[in-house]
Amino acid sequence: MPRAARLDAPGLLQHVIVRGIEKRDIFLDDQDRQSFSRRFSKLLQENESDCLAWALLPNHAHLLLRPKRTKLALIMRRLLTGYAVTFNLRHQRSGHLFQNRYKSIVCEEEPYFLELVRYIHLNPLRAGLVNNMNELDQYTWSGHSVLMGNRELLGQNTDEVLTRFGPRITVSRRRYRNFVMDGISQGKREELVGSGLWRTLKLTGYEEVLAYDERILGSGEFVERLRKENELSDRLPVVMPLKELIEQIAAFLGIKPEVLRQRTRGKRLADARSVISYVAVREMGHNGAEVARALNMSRSGVSIAAGRAEEILRNNQSLRNKVNRLTI
């Protein structure tokens, strides 16, 4: 079953996440990191693409990109294929280096632009690669050190970030650094990495699933505008019919599909409803109301159930692997 098509057009801000296969390291030493960043810089310049933020960690990398005249897919294919060949030759290995295909999330620029820059640049600190802001300022393998003037990466657009904090470079750097420091207490923000992109209303304690697409970080209005302006509706097919999805996940958990519509309670049934809600709405683009009707739940119930599924799938790797096969 093929994945839904990527949202890939010049001018879109995209948060890209690249992970090593089986969570293995993709950077073993500074020579690897230098190889990746040098290739990355060259491609940015050749393709006139903006890089607003980036960070290299041992087993994954974050990039915030806005391609101008070339599709993201072309840039990423050249970057990852070239790097993997060099890595395999250098370390005398063969086979895939990266986990499936890279993840890309189209982002609404306001209010997410600066939040994404901060989130990406705090990754080395959250991962324990550096111990404090002073060390982060000097961390070579992140766009933060470029913004602070401590290293250079040709192709990184520092002006667009820093001018948001003021016209004078010394003042803007200080304000930018304070902004990043203020984000340390926020911890890992799931909504910025594709685990919390569902659209909800949280007024008077009520939650309702709105216009949603796993590949888009933004408001429901932004999702709908992208569909309309770029005529994406025809290019965003639902990966699997909902009835078939329910049957498949029920089979994985040894449950009869018809039982899921009953008011019967129990952990296994609750887990099944949660996983179905999560995969259907967040990974396959089904409408929340449609899922609610199929499972005899309320729309708010679907939203709450979907939120539970991340922990369920994280703690059940066998089930996660089976679900993954439904969405590739």
pLDDT by residue (tens digit) across 60-113? 999 999 998 788 888 998 899 899 999 999 999 988 899 877 888 888 888 889
The alpha-carbon radius of gyration of the chain (Å, integer) is 21
Give the predicted TM-score (pTM) of the model: 0.66
Q: In this predicted model, which residue has the larger pLDDT, 326 or 28?
A: 28
| Residue 264, CA distances (Å) to 120, 242, 275, 282, 304 in order | 43, 21, 17, 25, 18
Q: Give the pLDDT band (50/70/90) at residue 182.
A: very high
pLDDT by residue (tens digit) across 134-157? 999 999 999 999 999 999 999 999
Q: How far is CA 78 from the centre of its chain?
A: 20
Q: Give the pLDDT band (50/70/90) at residue 194.
A: low
- pLDDT at residue 162 in the model: 97
Greatest mean pLDDT range, 182-186, 191-195, 280-284: 182-186
Q: Give the pLDDT band (50/70/90) at residue 209.
A: very low
pLDDT by residue (tens digit) across 240-284? 788 888 999 989 888 888 888 887 778 888 999 999 988 888 777
pLDDT by residue (tens digit) across 29-66? 999 999 999 999 999 998 889 999 999 999 999 999 99
- pLDDT at residue 202 in the model: 37
Q: Are 253 and 272 in contact (CB under 8 A)?
A: yes
Q: In this predicted model, which residue has the larger pLDDT, 317 or 113?
A: 113
How many CB atoms within 10 Å of residue 190? 12
How many CB atoms within 10 Å of residue 321? 10
How many CB atoms within 10 Å of residue 83? 23
The torsion angle over the Cα atoms of residues 317, 322, 324 and 325, rounded to 10 degrees, is 150
Question: In this prediction, what percent of the chain has a pLDDT beyond 70?
Answer: 84
Domains, the chain, in order of start with CATH, read 13-190 (3.30.70.1290), 240-326 (1.10.1750.10)
| Residue 33, CA distances (Å) to 26, 27, 30, 264 in order | 9, 6, 5, 53
